[in-house]
Amino acid sequence: METIAVYWEPRIKTYGFQRITDLALIEFSYPLSDIKNLGEIFSKDDFKILRPKFIISHVMHHEISFIVCLPLKEGKDFHASLKKASCATPCKYIHPVSILFFHGPHFGDRYGIADATFSSLSKAGMKILASGCSSASVFLVLAQHDIDKAEEILSETFEVAK
């Protein structure tokens, strides 16, 4: 079935912004040829207790890279476990970082949401460390000290439901 929708909001609506603070960002890469080995490490029960707030992964140059945000204590332990994994490239560990995330009634159905997000933050000179947009939601990882300013800018760009 094909549905053609005609709908355009003057300002894109969101249900509001939510944040998660005091996180560590861990980035590492692993050879694609050994992806099964990495999967086995992740499958261990030691990692079952971890509550990641953000995961993205991309593939390039025969490597799979992961960017994971965890609460500071869990991040430290995860980082230490990964250091023991022989094939992983040196990890990057950044802290403290925060996540700002939001979704709206038409996210997923329309274009322009990524542009509204990235362009407004870029114009204001804000640096996004990482981002993941899937399942009609936008997740932004920023340095902790940037989170207030980022929310302020996005609140001017998007219409927040009252």
Partner 1 sequence: MEKLKIGGLKQSLQLCQFDLRGVHSSKEIASKVSKLLLDQKINMEFLTYYQNKDSYHQLTFCISQDRFSATSKIIQKEGFLPVGWEIKSRKQVGIITIFPHQSAIKIVGIIMVSWTAHSIPIYGIATSLSALSFVTDYPLIGKAIEVIQALFQLPEDHSPLKPEIRYIQSDIVKGD
* Interface characters, 107-126, with partner 1 (x: CB under 8 A): -xxxxxxxx-xxx-xx----
Closest CB 9 distance from partner 1, rounded Å: 10
Residue 93 CB, shortest distance to partner 1, in Å, is 12
Does 128 participate in binding partner 1 (rule CB under 8 A)? yes
Q: What angle do CA 147, 69, 135 make, to 5 degrees?
A: 85
Q: In terms of Cα–Cα distance, which of 128, 119, 140, 142 is closest to 12?
A: 119
Question: Which residues of this protein are in contact with partner 1, per CB under 8 A?
Answer: 1-8, 27, 35-36, 38-45, 47-48, 50-52, 54-60, 64-68, 92, 101, 103, 108-115, 117-119, 121-122, 127-137, 139
